[in-house]
Amino acid sequence: MAQRVERSGLQVAEVLARFLESRALPGTGVAEQDFWDGLSALIHELGPRNRALLARREQLQSQIDDWHIAQGGAEHDPEDYETFLREIGYLVEEGPDFVIETPPTDPEFARLAGPQLVVPVTNARFALNAANARWGSLYDALYGTDALGDVAPRGAYDAGRGARVVAWAKAHLDRAVPLDGASWSEVRGLAVEGGALVAWTSGGEALSLAPQARLADPVQFVGHQGDADEPGAILLRANGLHIEILLDRSTPIGSADPAGISDVWVEAALSTIMDCEDSVATVDAEDKVLAYGNWLGLMRGDLQDSFEKGGQRMTRRMNPPFAEYAGADGRPVRVRTRSLMLVRNVGHLMTTPAVLDRDGQEAFEGLLDAMITVLCAIHDLRAAGGAANTATGSVYVVKPKMHGPEEVAFACEIFDRVEQVLGLPRLTVKLGIMDEERRTSANLRECIRAAKERVAFINTGFLDRTGDEIHTSMEAGPMVPKGDMKAQPWIRSYEERNVDIGLACGLRGRAQIGKGMWAMPDRMAAMLREKAAHPKAGANCAWVPSPTAAVLHATHYHLIDVAARQEEIAAAGARGTLRELLTIPVLAGRNLSEAEVQAEVDNNVQGILGYVVRWIDAGVGCSKVPDIHDVGLMEDRATCRISSQALANWLHHEVVDEPRVMAAMRRMAGVVDRQNAGDPDYRP
C-alpha cells in the first residue's frame, strides 16, 4: 500500500507528491498550493461529470444491445437502424459547415508531411531514440533491414551489399532531387557556386574540367556546411523534407564513392507521440511517476539513459535542438534535429490509485494526466533559450478513446481548467482526437466542431476501432474473422471519411490527418511497397514502429506531395458514406470451414497470450511480439482488445464453445512458451 499525504482534500501517493513538489513544479512559476487547489477542484468538480459520461456510454450500449436482440438474428433494415441510432442520441444532428479555428500550430502540423513515431514514455531509451529520430541514415536503414529484398549478412561489412545500398539511395535521389541532365550515380564532386549546387559528372582528368550539372529545380538546394568549394554536407529539400548528403573521403564508404559521398541522411520522424496510454504498463503511483518524470526530462531537454551495449557503458541524451547551415542566400539556416513531441494522455475511462478524492475513490487518470503533463510542458514553454519543442508556444495532447462529441467537448473543458490553474494562455493546449471509437467515427464532424478551437490532429487505427466495432454490435450476430475486416465496407468508409471530413473542416494547413501503424518492424521491404498508400490517401502523417522505419517511410513523402493530394481529394468530394460506416461486419449466413474457425480462434488466443506475458509479467506496454506465424509485431493493449472482443463475440453466438477456446489456450500456451524460450526471466 503506497504511503499517502493529504493535499487540498486529496489523498496523494507520497512518491507522486514528492515528484511534483521537488521536480515538476519548481521553475514553472506555479505555486504549490495553487496547483494542489486546482487539481482538487478538477477532480472533485469534473469527476462526477466524467462518471456521467461513462454512464451515458453504458446506457447507449444497453439500448443498442436490446435493439439487436429484438431483431431476433434477422438481417436488419439499414434505414431503420440509422433512425434508431438518431432517436437514442447515438447519432447527433450535424450543424452547418465550418472550419477549425485552432491558433497557429508548428510546421510539423501546418505545413510538413512525414512519419510519426509512438513510443512508451516509461522507457527512457526508446523515448530518447524517438526524440532523436528527426534524422536518420538512409544507408544504415537500407543496409541493416530487408528493404533491399533480403536481410543483411552477419559479420563484417559486406562491400557488395554496400554497393547495392549506394545504388538504391542514388536512384532515389534521382527521383526526389534530380539533377538536370545527369544521374547522381555519375557525380564525381559537389560544390556551391553563387548560391547554387554544382555537380561535376564524368569526363576529364581534372575535376574542374569535367561537365557540370545542376539541380533540375534549384529551389531544392537549401544550404551547406563547410567550405563552399569542398563542402562537408549539402542540404536539399523534397516536398518540405530535408535530405542531407554527407561528403567525407576519409571514411571507407566516402573514399570508395566517386563523389566522396559517405552517407545520405533524411529528415524522418517529424513528430513523436510520447505515450502514457496503451503502450505503457502504468498501474500504480510509482509507474505514473516514471512516465511523468521521463516526459518532464524530455520537456527540460535533460533526460538521459545509461545502458550496456556490446560490453560498453553508453549514455543516451537528446540531440541539440538545431543544426546550422550556410543558406543558399548566404544567410544561416537553422534546421530542427529533434522530433516534435506530443503526449498521449489516457482516455476518460481509466482511474488511478495514485490519487484518491475526499470520498476515498480513485481519481480519473485522464484528469491527472491533463494537469501533470501540461505542467511538465511549461518547462519547455519557459526555457531561457526559447522553447526547443515548440515554435508556437503550444502543448500537444493526444486524447484517445473518446465516444462522440460530448466527450470531446468535455476534454476541451478539462484543458480550459488546466490552463487557468497553470496560468497559461487559453488554447495553449492543442488537442489530438483519436478516431478509434465507433461513436466518434459516426459523428466525426461534430467531434471536430466540439474542439474546433483546439484540434490539431485526427487519425485512424485498425485494432482499437475494430475492437469497438465488434463490442458495439456484439448482439447483432457473429462477426467476420479479423483478417476479413479490412475488406468490409465499414472500414473503407471509416478510412475515407476521416480524411474527407478532416479536409472539409479545414484541417489542411493547421492540423495533422493521420493513419495507423505499420506493425511489422522487420518487414521493411513490404513497408516500402505498401505504406505509400498512406500519403497517397491524403494523410500528412502515419505511424511507424521504429526510427529506422521512419527513415524508410520518409522516402515516400519525398515522392508524394501530400498537400497536392489533399487538394485533389477535397476537389473530388466526399467518398465514404455514413450508411457504409454503419454496415455491421457480421457473417450474415456465410459458413466458415472448420479450418477457418480453428485458425481464427488460435490466432486470437495466441495474440492475447503472447502480449499478456509482455504486459503483465515483464511490465512492458509495447514491444515486438511474435504472432502465430512467428512474425514480430509491435503490439500494445489494442491487441488484447480486438482479440478478446472477437473471441467473446464467437462464444456469445456459439460459433465456438468454451472447451474449444480453452483447448486452444492450452495449445497456444505451448507456442508462446517456445517463442519466449530464450528469455531467462520468462515463466512458462
Spell out where 92-152 has E strands: 114-120, 135-137
Q: What pLDDT shows up at residue 622?
A: 87
Residue 401 neighbours by CB under 8 Å, 6+ apart: 347, 348, 349, 434, 436, 437, 464
Q: What pLDDT shows up at residue 206?
A: 61
Q: In this predicted model, what pLDDT tens digit does every residue of 69-106 receive, in sequence order? A: 999 888 899 999 999 999 999 999 999 999 999 999 99
Query: For 426-440, what is the mean pLDDT?
Result: 98
Give CA angle at 291 (279, 393), nearest 5°. Answer: 100
Residue 101 neighbours by CB under 8 Å, 6+ apart: 452, 453
Assess contact for 326 and 6: CB atoms under 8 A: no
Q: In this predicted model, what pLDDT tens digit does every residue of 304-338 receive, in sequence order? A: 999 888 888 999 999 999 999 999 999 999 999 99
φ, ψ for residue 240 (rounded to 5)? Answer: 90, -15
pLDDT at residue 669 greater than cutoff 80: yes
Q: What pLDDT shows up at residue 593?
A: 96
Average pLDDT score, the chain: 96
Assess contact for 216 and 178: CB atoms under 8 A: yes
Assess contact for 362 and 356: CB atoms under 8 A: yes
Burial class (CB in 10 A: 0-12, 13-18, 19+), 23: middle
Q: What pLDDT shows up at residue 152?
A: 85
Kindly give the residue spans of alpha helices, DSSP state H, lying in 228-364: 252-256, 285-300
CB count within 10 Å of CB 236 equals 23
Residue 195 neighbours by CB under 8 Å, 6+ apart: 221, 328, 329, 330
In three-state secondary structure terms, 516 is coil
Cα separations (Å) of 406 from 50, 457, 662? 11, 18, 40
Cα separations (Å) of 418 from 35, 406, 422, 455? 10, 18, 6, 16
How far apart CA 493 and CA 264 sit, in angstroms, is 39
Q: In this predicted model, what pLDDT tens digit does every residue of 350-364 receive, in sequence order? A: 999 999 999 999 999
Structure-block grid coordinates of residue 599 = 485458425
Query: Would you give the distance in Å from CA 449 to the centre of its chain?
Result: 23
Provide the pLDDT confidence category of residue 420 given band limits of 50, 70 and 90: very high
Q: In this predicted model, what pLDDT tens digit does every residue of 133-165 receive, in sequence order? A: 999 999 999 999 999 999 988 899 999 999 999
Q: What pLDDT shows up at residue 141?
A: 98
Q: Report, in angstroms and rounded to the nearest whole number, the Rg of the chain calculated over CA atoms.
A: 26
Q: pTM here?
A: 0.97
Q: What pLDDT shows up at residue 205?
A: 56
DSSP string, 32-62: HHHHHHHHHHHHHHHHHHHHHHHHHHHHHHH
In the chain, the N- to C-terminal Cα span, in Å, equals 29
pLDDT at residue 204 greater than cutoff 60: no
Which one-letter amino acid corresponds to residue 176?
A: A
Q: What pLDDT shows up at residue 497?
A: 98
Assess contact for 142 and 169: CB atoms under 8 A: yes
Q: What percent of the chain has pLDDT over 90?
A: 92
Catalytic residue, from 4, 237, 336, 344: name it.
344
Q: What pLDDT shows up at residue 202?
A: 80
Per mean pLDDT, which range of 19-23, 26-30, 498-502, 616-620 is the poorest? 616-620
Give CA angle at 276 (274, 277), nearest 5°. Answer: 115
Q: What pLDDT shows up at residue 249?
A: 96
Return the closest-CA partner of residue 230 out of 204, 200, 253.
200
Provide the pLDDT confidence category of residue 211 given band limits of 50, 70 and 90: confident
User: How, if at all, do strands 395-399 and 340-344 pair?
Assistant: parallel
Q: Is 636 a catalytic residue?
A: yes
pLDDT at residue 401 greater than cutoff 90: yes
What does the buried/exposed string (b/e) look like for 50-79 if buried means 16 or more CB atoms within 10 Å of the residue's CB? beebeeebeebbebbeebbeeeeeeebeee
- What strands lie across the sheet with 362-364, from one edge to the other? 4-7, 10-13, 351-356, 362-364
Q: What pLDDT shows up at residue 564?
A: 97
Q: What pLDDT shows up at residue 73?
A: 82
Query: For 187-195, what is the mean pLDDT?
Result: 95
Q: What pLDDT shows up at residue 620?
A: 85
Which one-letter amino acid corresponds to residue 284?
A: D
In three-state secondary structure terms, 355 is strand
DSSP string, 292-307: HHHHHHHHHT--EEEE
Q: In this predicted model, what pLDDT tens digit does every residue of 452-465 receive, in sequence order? A: 999 999 999 999 99
Catalytic residue, from 275, 636, 637, 641: name it.
636
Per mean pLDDT, which range of 34-38, 408-412, 452-456, 612-616 is the poorest? 612-616
pLDDT at residue 661 greater than cutoff 80: yes
Q: What pLDDT shows up at residue 209?
A: 64
Assess contact for 412 and 433: CB atoms under 8 A: no
Provide the pLDDT confidence category of residue 408 given band limits of 50, 70 and 90: very high
How far apart CA 187 and CA 163 sit, in angstroms, is 15
Q: What pLDDT shows up at residue 444?
A: 98
Query: For 526-542, what is the mean pLDDT?
Result: 98
Residue 147 neighbours by CB under 8 Å, 6+ apart: 141, 168, 524, 525, 528, 552
What residues pair up with 421 in beta bridges, in sequence order? none
Query: For 182-209, what is the mean pLDDT?
Result: 86
DSSP string, 598-642: HHHHHHHHHHHHHHHIIIIIS--SSEEEE-TTS-EEEE-HHHHHH
How far apart CA 602 and CA 463 sit, in angstroms, is 17
